[in-house]
Amino acid sequence: MKKAGTPHTKCRGLPPFPPSSLLAFPAVIINLQGKSDPVFKKIPHTYVIVFGIVVLCAILTWIVPGGAFERETVSVNGIDRSVVIPGSFHYIEKNPQTWQVFSALFDGFVDKADIIVFILIIGGAFWIMNESKAIDVAIGSVLRFTKRIGNRGVIKAIGVDNLIFIVIMTMFSFFGAVFGMSEETIAFTIIFVPLAVSMGYDSIMGVSLCFVAAALGFAGAFLNPFTIGIAQGLSDLPLFSGLEYRLIMWIVISVAGFAYILLYAKKIKKNPMRSRVHDDDNYWRKLHSETQMKAEYHSPVSAWVIFIILIVIMTIFSFFFPVSSLSFGESQLKVPAVPVITGLFILTGWLTLRKSVHFFIIDLLAFTILFLITGVMGYGWYIMEIATLFFAMGLACGIAMGYDANRITKLFLDGVKDIQSAALIVGLAGGIIIILENGNIIDTLLYRLSESISGAGRMASVTMMYITQTVINLFMPSGSAKAALTMPMMSQFSDLIGVSRQATVVAFQLGDGFTNMITPTSGVLLGVLSVAKIPYDKWFKWVLPFIVILFLLGFLLLIPTVFMDLRGF
């Protein structure tokens, strides 16, 4: 899920600049990754790359003229949003950024405080779980299970690993398509990266199982209220109309993405040394080695005590929330979610505790995820509620293992310390947006990009909208903020050229989705990579060909929206 950005402020201006100068931004990023420039004897650290972009954006505030659109507040799906008034752009005084490049870290921390705290809490909670060796036991069980069923009929033909990966990726892609799962994948990275490495793959594969799969679903979303809902609301279209074609888009994008990931997995499984992050993954190999998986099965009294306490708490919640309205686009499904989950927890908790506390802790993780899904889809949970849920899970894990308060506290702080680099990079990346906003150049860039679309034909215009949304996403990865900024103009522009507003929404949707996996201004991406211990430059080299393929696929999916009579378009 993505949040809206902050409002612009006024400043002084410069003469208009050529639109082509905007294209230099991605080129600079790419150049920072390569070895062609003799100045770089080795690829810069992720912090260097991100701070370099901060400096570049500050330089742009001296070159790009200040500009602003007038804005008005409109109600979209029951939420007030500040949107651009078409035709209201005007140049204003420039506000070049100088010393602000050094305060960008502070400002970025303030702006991204929710994600940063979320990362720190997740790190602390999972460190407590890691200490219990529950994840290691679970990984060992999965590996033994795959070996046991790997030679059975159809499973052998498909490959048991492939089957497991497809199920996991389909689940996360569905979550991305339905409620815009994004920040939540940071927590799952800690689970799937060690699993993938232990199965003979690498951390890139682990990140692909959750983050990339969710990003594919986000790009091909059909019920995501934070992108489709807002974009259609601002375009005066029926909410989630055109669902049938968007379902086709989601399936096509997911299948293509899964195929690419599985081909990569096959290559790494055959020769692990071909992985760009083979040496970096030594961290995970050491942390979850075979010797660590040999845990003594037992269920201390403290585990039964926390089990009973949780049953009491969940029973009380079941009394106050007997029925939950789970949202699926415009539809709502009323189900007794909390009571059913409570009943299942009583059954599975008793069964797992009879075997070992380690399996009980995995059970706690599974039901934490179930409550997360229920909370997001039924009660509008966001980062604060999800972080609280995982924090409670971490405490429950520590108590179940019989740890005293001091040990739980120390483990939590160790986890925070281990993951603090992820929090720092998110804060620094947030400073990029702050510099651009304080320099008042985002509106100018948008205006110039939209101007370049004028005069083109129908297909060319929609293609330019797609490219424009893709480029804007490099600067502004917030989907809801970008929708509020661009859709009021783009939808009216589509009327002038004879293109359906639904096509404009699809161009926004696809342009907003794919580059979330590569843009260094995304706090979620940098958070995931930091948790997975994957250097950004290595990730960039792996994901760039993938992004190119997806971008071309998105263009092909746009064509029917212009020339075919689709239902809802």
The tens digit of pLDDT for each residue in 134-154 reads 887 887 787 777 777 767 767
**Residue 474: which of 516, 528, 531, 529 has the closest Cα?**
516
Q: Residues 120-137, buried b or exposed e (16+ Cβ, 10 A)? A: bbbbbbbbbbbbbbbbbb
Q: What is the mean pLDDT of residues 101-107?
A: 88
What are 452-464's pLDDT values in tens digits?
A: 766 667 888 888 8
Q: Which residue has the higher pLDDT, 477 or 555?
A: 555
Q: Which residue has the higher pLDDT, 261 or 30?
A: 261
- Across the chain, mean pLDDT equals 83
Over 70: is that where the pLDDT of 43 sits? no
Q: What is the predicted pLDDT for the residue at 295?
A: 61
Q: What is the predicted pLDDT for the residue at 276?
A: 94
Over 80: is that where the pLDDT of 197 sits? yes
For the entire predicted model, the pTM comes to 0.75
| Percentage of the chain lying above the pLDDT 90 cut | 38
Over 70: is that where the pLDDT of 496 sits? no
Quick one: pLDDT band at residue 247, thresholds 50, 70, 90? very high
Q: Which residue has the higher pLDDT, 82 or 473?
A: 473
Task: Tell me the backbone φ, ψ of residue 183, rounded to 5 degrees.
Answer: -60, -30
What are 326-366's pLDDT values in tens digits?
A: 877 667 889 999 999 999 999 999 999 999 999 999 999 88
Let me know the angle formed at the C-alpha of 158 by 153 and 162, rounded to the nearest 5 degrees: 130
What are 369-386's pLDDT values in tens digits?
A: 899 889 888 888 878 898
Q: Are strands 79-84 and 90-91 parallel, antiparallel or unpaired?
A: unpaired
> Which amino acid is it at 519?
T
Q: What is the mean pLDDT of residues 434-444?
A: 86
Contacts for 260 with CB less than 8 Å, ≥ 6 apart: 546, 549
Q: What is the mean pLDDT of residues 426-451?
A: 82
Chain CA centroid to CA 529, Å = 11
Q: What is the mean pLDDT of residues 432-436?
A: 84
Point out the least confidently predicted range of 200-204, 299-303, 369-373: 369-373
- As a whole number of angstroms, the distance between CA 42 and CA 209 comes to 30
Q: What is the predicted pLDDT for the residue at 357?
A: 93
| Percentage of the chain lying above the pLDDT 70 cut | 88
Q: What is the mean pLDDT of residues 163-168?
A: 91
Q: Which residue has the higher pLDDT, 315 or 123?
A: 315
Q: What is the predicted pLDDT for the residue at 288?
A: 66
Over 80: is that where the pLDDT of 451 sits? no
Contact between 479 and 180 under an 8 Å Cβ cutoff? The reply is yes
Q: What is the predicted pLDDT for the residue at 518?
A: 92
Contact between 144 and 76 under an 8 Å Cβ cutoff? The reply is no
Point out the least confidently predicted range of 98-107, 244-253, 270-279: 98-107
Quick one: pLDDT band at residue 264, thresholds 50, 70, 90? very high
Quick one: pLDDT band at residue 506, thresholds 50, 70, 90? very high
Terminal CA-CA length for the chain = 26
Q: What is the predicted pLDDT for the residue at 456?
A: 66
Over 60: is that where the pLDDT of 558 sits? yes
Q: What is the predicted pLDDT for the residue at 32?
A: 36
Domain boundaries, the chain: 19-111+436-524+538-563, 112-130+296-435
Q: What is the predicted pLDDT for the residue at 21?
A: 36
Quick one: pLDDT band at residue 6, thresholds 50, 70, 90? very low
- As a whole number of angstroms, the distance between CA 519 and CA 19 comes to 20
Neighbours of 272 (CB within 10 A): 14
Q: Which residue has the higher pLDDT, 21 or 184?
A: 184
> Which amino acid is it at 518?
I
Point out the least confidently predicted range of 44-53, 366-375, 559-568: 44-53
Quick one: pLDDT band at residue 86, thresholds 50, 70, 90? confident
Neighbours of 35 (CB within 10 A): 9
